[in-house]
Amino acid sequence: MHKKFSTDTLNWILIIGGILLIFEIAFFFGGTIIPAIFSALIIYFGWRKYYRLWGKVVFWIGVISLVLSILNLMAVRFLLIALIILFIINYYKSKKEPMHVVPDSMRNRAATDEVVTRIKPLFTHQLFGDQQTNDMAYGWQDINIHGGFGDRIVDLSNTVLPNDTAIISIRHAIGNIQIFVPYEVEVSLHHSSVFGRAYVFGETDWKLMNQSIIYQTAHYDTAVTRVKIITSIFSGDIEVVRI
């Protein structure tokens, strides 16, 4: 049976691409990286005002500029070529060694396979735009997402938390994170930021420059119902308040 190229192969391609990116930054003063960052900022501000005509124009100008800037990067061109070569090799091997699928009876599958249910998450991995929990009552699920641009709002007052540790893990690029927590719930926060500020239950860090902060309420270690918040953000504020 033909086996597709391994994860190690892809990892090596990504490592070489990263080395090429560092090489381009070091010897060509960033090349198209600065225009790419500038284009990303244009996209962000255009998206924030997308309901207006000039916001739409700015947004799509930024998208086109960003795509062209990214395609001009040496590392990206290497990745595209490498992926095309891998696809050709994979297609060639699949022709020489076609995959044979042996059907299995549903009876055998029912006896050996564990029944699992796919559950729709509260948040999706979204590059642009704001996200927030439902304004109506909703069933709790642990949150584990990463995003690009926009705000993320998590309101825990509209759900029933389990008698256990609820997890909120958010990795974000640019935007703000707001988390509203009921008064009876104990909280632990581990937040890291390159640029931004933090407001946590009245405590304020006005200037977070490539720092990590940890806050924990008094009875977190002994509480039955508690929330563990792990967030990291490149540029933006985090706010954790009681509601």
Q: Is residue 71 part of a domain?
A: yes
Structural domain count of the chain: 2
pLDDT, residue 205, reads 85
Report pLDDT digits (tens) over 90-135. Answer: 777 766 665 555 555 444 544 555 777 677 778 877 777 778 888 8
Rounded CA-CA distance 41/205 in Å is 25
Report pLDDT digits (tens) over 166-204. Answer: 999 999 888 889 999 999 899 999 999 988 889 999 888
First and final C-alpha spacing in the chain: 57
Dihedrals φ, ψ of 202, to 5°? Answer: 90, -20
Rounded CA-CA distance 26/21 in Å is 9
Long-range CB contacts for residues 127-134, cutoff 8 Å, separation at least 24: 128/43, 128/44, 128/47, 129/47, 130/175, 133/158, 133/159, 134/158
Tell whether 171 and 222 lie within a shared domain.
yes
Report pLDDT digits (tens) over 2-22. Answer: 445 555 666 677 778 778 777
Kind and range of the H or E run holding 92: helix 74-96
Report pLDDT digits (tens) over 32-79. Answer: 677 878 888 888 888 888 888 888 898 899 889 888 887 887 778 888
Tell whether 139 and 232 lie within a shared domain.
yes
The residue range of the domain holding 71 is 7-96
- pTM for this predicted structure: 0.58
**Residues near 79 by beta carbon (within 8 Å), at least 6 away in sequence:** 13, 14, 17
Tell whether 231 and 144 lie within a shared domain.
yes
Q: Is residue 56 part of a domain?
A: yes
Residue at a domain's end among 96, 111, 143: 96
**149: helix, strand or coil:** strand
Tell whether 223 and 161 lie within a shared domain.
yes
Tell whether 47 and 140 lie within a shared domain.
no
Kind and range of the H or E run holding 57: helix 53-71
Tell whether 148 and 57 lie within a shared domain.
no
Can you say whether residue 210 is alpha, beta or left, with left for phi > 0 and alpha for psi between -120 and 50 degrees?
left
Rounded CA-CA distance 185/174 in Å is 28
Cβ atoms of 237 and 209 within 8 Å: the answer is: no
Tell whether 224 and 148 lie within a shared domain.
yes
Cβ atoms of 172 and 152 within 8 Å: the answer is: yes
